[in-house]
Amino acid sequence: MRIVLLGAPGSGKGTQAALLQERLKLPHISTGALLRAAVKKKTPLGLQAKELLAHGELMPDEVMLTLIEERLGKPDVKRGFLLDGYPRNLAQAEALDELLERIGLPVDEAVQIDIDPERILNRIVKRAKEQGRSDDSEEVFRHRMEVYEEQTAPVVDYYAERGLLTRILGQGSVDDVHRLLLSVLDVDAEK
């Protein structure tokens, strides 16, 4: 199963991907986590990412594709994967499809987690306090939402046009949203 999780920043993609990873035993590939690890290690990519992330900007497409291609080259993705935080624009979606076709691992399902932006803001503020993430301020969040609406929201249409998109409402409890996600992925919630 090869799944792309979509949704606005703070919509619960990472939380749901972590739960799915545990449940399905598939690697959770989070571009945010990959970038934060590069920042922590102070790699050249990490230094570039630190500045952009602090202002809510997206990384250049070619950098992200290189990062994703490297990760998808590892043997653990052969059974499938959960992609979280990528693609973030149409060019990335098209490049990802080309890459996945080339390596014989096309996307099976794209799931959009819909949630009210004000609820997301409350989550972001809480996460910033709990995890100390500098990219989680109200100002950065509002900018990230503008970038999301402008650049990432069209990716939802991209997957819908290909018959791969399912939308779920992400406003319940984590468990409620997870049960809904399992249902749309046709995974037995009781196992």
Q: Which of 23, 119, 133, 167 is catalytic?
A: 133
179 annotated active-site: no
Cα–Cα distance for residue pair 110/99, rounded to 1 Å: 16
133 annotated active-site: yes
Closest to 84 in 3D by CA, of 158, 134, 27:
27
Q: pLDDT tens for residues 87-141?
A: 989 999 999 999 999 999 999 999 999 998 888 888 777 877 788 766 667 787 7
Q: pLDDT tens for residues 138-179?
A: 787 788 888 888 888 899 999 999 999 999 999 889 999 999
88 annotated active-site: yes
User: How confident is residue 74, by pLDDT bands cut at 50, 70 and 90?
Assistant: very high
Give this prediction's pTM. 0.82
23 annotated active-site: no
Q: Which of 2, 71, 123, 144 is catalytic?
A: 144
Q: Which of 23, 50, 119, 127 is catalytic?
A: 127
Q: Which of 2, 13, 71, 123 is catalytic?
A: 13
- Torsion sign, CA atoms 30, 34, 39, 40: positive
Domains and CATH numbers, the chain: 2-181 (3.40.50.300)
Convert 69-82 into a string of H (helix), E (strand) and C (coil): HHHHCCHHHCCCEE
13 annotated active-site: yes
